[in-house]
């Protein structure tokens, strides 16, 4: 028998990472498709590229493809949207089976099963679904008992029954992702076509703010180097894809095994493909071997996201990051010397943080000379050690409204700042210390003409507009508008009638709601 399957990833993403800069498809859904029996008809809908018309896109896909089963992949802050999409599908096509998977389903499956909203869910899948989703379809077709699908929660007599946990997959048994079934294809990184792949799963570090261990445990599993290179070739030659210029390597920590990483770099360099790669890595891993950054550059790796996190050693200790300040400087210097753009991850909002501490963080990352910054506020994700610490200390100000748990909005306070003050002071410090709007040296090295155009044409326009807006609204008024825009996803009308006169007024007036499914 043939099953009609629609797999959907959510449109929501953290406002900390700009929508204009990149749109990346779901790798997990493509991997499920690659491991499904070929007799099934399957479609992948990445709604991040349909953020402004989610409802109509879902309805169109359901009416056109008439799925019998729909899989929804959701992170914790996306579940509010996933639930509404599930209800929309049930209304549009009654009888469609809904499966919820992803990080939120894995970490919160008992709470989800017992919640009133569980009426729109038929199945909850925990853990990796590369093979498990196909096992569920086999069970629906009567080929195996439902009880045999490890990691599955399913309804029996109206209540969820939870099968035993699913063991981690043997990566050698996982087929390559199948990217040919995407309904939308215009994914990009800075307007060049982009795609995503992985070379490993998991991380052996024990950072207690990270929810990754809830998914994989403290493990690090590797694909073979040959399999990685086959995936790169597939991305570059797949006739069902548009020509790809950028590839995000989505490993949790690709630099844990440095010799293997160097072998991968050598293999990619030998392919001589016109593709640029982006990876995320640890400072300690990059600093292990001085030859690594040069090999990365030779392989076409142009951007690296580093978890720099914080300058305060007490905060680093609380995160269980260890003493990384020395290796951080080494890693950043070596990557810059190799011509690689460094994106520095920064986290604020720890219990002892005050205005001075926040400013020191931004000054630290500015002095390191990174090319770009991804700054977030500490978020007490369920199941993490950081959440337990912050709850015990009475610092969590939003315990259960998870749609705001995206790293941008404050879920905590400090001993010196309220949640609202924390958000304002972080924005103000970044604006005053970091935002020069100048193209980094690494961008100039790779694209000198673009960097010159940006620095001498675009940047003056940006600076003129920023100064004009400051004169019109003041610093606090600008903050209110930016916060409202990030929350609502729409540009508010220009009016100075309601411009606040204080930080308290700016943060108390704004109670935005994210644009989800209307």
Q: Is residue 26 part of a domain?
A: yes
If asked whether residues 317 and 427 sit together in one domain, one would say yes
pLDDT(500) > 60 = no
Between 89 and 484, where is the model more confident? 89
Q: What is the pLDDT of residue 437?
A: 62
Q: Of 378, 400, 435, which residue sits at a domain end? A: 435
Please state, rounded to an integer, the average pLDDT across all residues of the chain: 88
If asked whether residues 197 and 155 sit together in one domain, one would say no
Tell me the pairing of strands 159-162 and 97-101: unpaired
Give the integer Cα–Cα distance in Å for 392 and 148: 39
Q: What is the pLDDT of residue 343?
A: 93
Q: Is residue 466 part of a domain?
A: no
Q: In sequence order, what DSSP letters do the residues of 24-67 get, joined into one string?
A: ---HHHHHHHHTS-TTSEEEEEEGGGGGGGHHHHHHHHHHHH--
Give the integer Cα–Cα distance in Å for 337 and 235: 29
Q: What is the pLDDT of residue 393?
A: 96
Q: What is the CATH number of the domain that holds 225?
A: 3.20.20.70
Tell me the pairing of strands 22-23 and 276-281: unpaired
If asked whether residues 107 and 10 sit together in one domain, one would say yes
If asked whether residues 89 and 141 sit together in one domain, one would say yes
Of the pLDDT bands very low, low, confident and very high (cuts 50, 70, 90), residue 242 is: low
Q: 250 near 219, Cβ under 8 Å?
A: no
Q: What is the mean pLDDT of residues 65-84?
A: 97
What six digits make up the tokens of 481?
A: 């508008």
Of the pLDDT bands very low, low, confident and very high (cuts 50, 70, 90), residue 18 is: low
Predicted TM-score of the model (pTM): 0.87
Q: Is residue 445 part of a domain?
A: no
Between 434 and 61, where is the model more confident? 61
If asked whether residues 109 and 244 sit together in one domain, one would say no
- Number of residues that make up the chain: 518
| Angle CA 366–368–374, to nearest 5 | 60
If asked whether residues 214 and 347 sit together in one domain, one would say yes
If asked whether residues 15 and 108 sit together in one domain, one would say yes
Domain that holds residue 117: 4-162
What six digits make up the tokens of 479?
A: 């903050």
DSSP reduced 3-state for 22: strand
If asked whether residues 153 and 214 sit together in one domain, one would say no
pLDDT(499) > 50 = no
Q: Of 435, 465, 499, which residue sits at a domain end? A: 435
Q: Is residue 422 part of a domain?
A: yes
- The alpha carbons of the chain give a radius of gyration, in whole angstroms, of 23
Q: In sequence order, what DSSP letters do the residues of 56-123 get, joined into one string?
A: HHHHHHHHHH--SEEEEE--GGGHHHHHHHHHHHHHHSTT-EEEEESHHHHHSHHHHHHSGGGGG-SE
Q: Of 162, 179, 196, which residue sits at a domain end? A: 162
Q: What is the mean pLDDT of residues 303-321?
A: 92
Q: What is the pLDDT of residue 279?
A: 97
Give me the residues paired with residue 429 across strands.
none
Number of domains in the chain: 2
If asked whether residues 20 and 136 sit together in one domain, one would say yes
If asked whether residues 104 and 17 sit together in one domain, one would say yes
Lowest mean pLDDT among 132-146, 240-254, 325-339: 240-254
pLDDT(262) > 70 = yes
If asked whether residues 23 and 102 sit together in one domain, one would say yes
Tell me the pairing of strands 192-197 and 188-189: antiparallel
Q: What is the pLDDT of residue 218?
A: 87
pLDDT(302) > 60 = yes
Nearest to 349 by CA among 307, 386, 320: 386
Q: What is the mean pLDDT of residues 293-313?
A: 95
If asked whether residues 73 and 134 sit together in one domain, one would say yes
Q: What is the pLDDT of residue 503?
A: 39
């Amino acid at each position: 028998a043939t099953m009609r399957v629609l797999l959907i990833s959510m449109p929501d993403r953290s406002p900390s990472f700009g929508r204009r800069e990149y749109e990346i498809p779901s790798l997990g859904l493509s991997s499920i498709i690659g491991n499904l029996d070929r007799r099934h008809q399957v479609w992948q809908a990445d709604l991040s590229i349909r953020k402004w018309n989610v409802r109509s896109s879902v309805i169109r896909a359901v009416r056109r493809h008439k799925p019998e089963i729909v899989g929804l992949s959701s992170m914790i802050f996306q579940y509010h949207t996933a639930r509404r999409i599930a209800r929309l599908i049930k209304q549009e096509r009654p009888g469609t089976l809904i499966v919820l998977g992803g990080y939120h389903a894995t970490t919160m499956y008992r709470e989800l099963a017992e919640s009133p909203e569980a009426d729109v869910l038929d199945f909850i899948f925990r853990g990796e679904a590369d093979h498990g989703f196909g096992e569920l379809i086999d069970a629906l077709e009567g080929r195996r008992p439902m009880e045999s699908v490890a990691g599955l929660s399913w309804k029996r007599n109206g209540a969820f029954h939870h099968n035993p946990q699913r063991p981690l997959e043997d990566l050698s048994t996982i087929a390559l992702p199948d990217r040919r079934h995407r309904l939308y294809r215009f994914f990009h990184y800075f307007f060049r076509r982009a795609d995503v792949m992985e070379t490993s799963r998991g991380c052996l570090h024990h950072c207690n703010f990270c929810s990754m261990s809830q998914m994989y445990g403290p493990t690090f599993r590797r694909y073979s180097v040959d399999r990685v290179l086959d995936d790169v070739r597939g991305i570059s030659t797949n006739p069902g894809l548009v020509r790809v210029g950028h590839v995000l390597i989505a490993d949790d920590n690709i630099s844990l095994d440095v010799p293997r990483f160097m072998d991968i770099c050598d293999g990619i360099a030998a392919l001589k493909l016109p593709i640029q790669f982006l990876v995320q890595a640890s400072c300690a891993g990059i600093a292990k071997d001085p030859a690594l950054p040069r090999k990365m550059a030779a392989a076409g790796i142009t951007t690296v996201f580093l978890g720099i996190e914080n300058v305060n050693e007490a905060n680093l200790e609380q995160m269980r990051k260890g003493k990384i300040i020395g290796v951080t400087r080494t890693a950043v210097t070596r990557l810059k010397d190799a011509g690689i753009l460094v994106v520095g991850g920064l986290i604020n909002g720890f219990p002892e943080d005050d205005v001075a501490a926040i400013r020191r963080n931004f000054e630290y990352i500015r002095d390191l000379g990174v090319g770009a910054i991804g700054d977030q506020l500490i978020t007490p994700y369920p199941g993490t050690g950081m959440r337990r610490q912050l709850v015990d200390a009475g610092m969590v100000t939003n315990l259960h409204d998870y749609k705001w748990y995206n790293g941008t909005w404050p879920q905590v306070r400090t001993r010196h700042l309220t949640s609202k003050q924390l958000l304002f002071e972080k924005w103000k410090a970044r604006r005053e210390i970091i935002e020069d709007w100048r193209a980094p040296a690494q961008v100039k090295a790779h694209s000198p003409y673009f960097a010159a155009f940006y620095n001498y044409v675009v940047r003056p326009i940006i600076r003129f507009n920023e100064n004009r807006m400051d004169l019109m609204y003041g610093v606090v008024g600008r903050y209110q508008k930016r916060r409202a825009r990030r929350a609502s996803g729409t540009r508010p009308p220009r009016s100075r009638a309601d411009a606040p006169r204080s930080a308290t007024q700016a943060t108390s007036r704004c109670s935005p709601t994210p644009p989800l499914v209307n």
